[in-house]
Amino acid sequence: MTNLSGLQILLFSFIIATGAISVVSGTVFTIVNSCSFPVWPGIITGDNGLQLNGGGFDLTPGASVDLTAPAGWSGRIWGRTGCNFDAFGNGKCLTGDCGKLQCSGAGGTSPVTLAEFTIGLGGAIDFYDVSLVDGYNVQMEIKTQGGSGDCQNVGCVSDVNKICPNELTVPNPNGGDVVGCKSACEAFGRPDYCCTGAFNKPETCPPTHYSRIFKTACPKAYSYPYDDATSTFTCANANYSIIFCPIST
């Protein structure tokens, strides 16, 4: 191995400091719990990719965690509520449950509010959204940090549980407030609500009475499967905050 002189080391340090050499780093997700109650974030990575932080952890009120995803990462992040885990990480949650503390590739049980990301490769744009296609359980917002392009802050900051139709509600088995709001697809299983069968394209699966309730409450969130035009957003070279129970402004 060739030994570097002190002058060469100084020159190399100067090049890095001035940005002549760009150091490639991943996209940072800052997951924030602004709720008055604990939230257990769940994460699932697409295409059998890197599971961030084991796919799940606990987040006390006011706490935040930074996770770094590699370029090209895609996946979903959601919040679980009302969880109880043993010393081995086994347990259950009232909403968003995957059966254990670290979901390790398992998805969350509906209804659940989802943050969805596809991170670009080599400076390509990221795609992101907040989805209520699988129902709703907790308020969520995605905020962009830096980046270029349209880079909007999006999400569902309204408490949909408070306006959920009775036929879609998920009651708290322990008593108290509603803990989730099902999608019409999950509640009724009808092809016209699920956009399946003869309704498997935008032309035959328009918004329904139920999806309009979600859309009115959260205009920048997916309300049904073909809600792409007003619900998918893009940004390049950004970091993202995923905030549970954001303060509505």
Give the residue ranges of the chain where pLDDT is below 50: 1-24, 249
Count of helix runs (H) and strand runs (E) in the chain? 4, 13
In whole angstroms, give the CA distance from residue 33 to residue 68: 18
Q: What is the pLDDT of residues 109-123, one digit of tens each?
A: 999 999 999 999 988
pLDDT at position 247: 79
pLDDT at position 22: 36
Q: What is the pLDDT of residues 150-203, one digit of tens each?
A: 999 999 999 999 999 999 999 999 888 899 999 999 999 999 999 999 999 999
In whole angstroms, give the CA distance from residue 153 to residue 123: 20
pLDDT at position 162: 96
In whole angstroms, give the CA distance from residue 249 to residue 247: 6
202: Cα within 13 Å, side-chain hemisphere: 4
Look up the pTM and report it. Answer: 0.88
| Residue 247, burial from CB neighbour count under 10 angstroms (0-12, 13-18, 19+) | exposed
Alpha-carbon separation of residue 101 from 58, 84, 200, 209 (angstroms)? 8, 9, 35, 36
Q: Which 3 state secondary structure label does DSSP give 237?
A: strand
CA 101 to chain centre: 17
- Looking at domain 24-160+220-244, its CATH class is mainly beta
In whole angstroms, give the CA distance from residue 54 to residue 79: 15
Q: Which 3 state secondary structure label does DSSP give 40?
A: strand
pLDDT at position 5: 46
Alpha-carbon separation of residue 148 from 98, 99, 125 (angstroms)? 35, 38, 9
Q: Which helix (H) or strand (E) holds 66?
A: strand 64-69
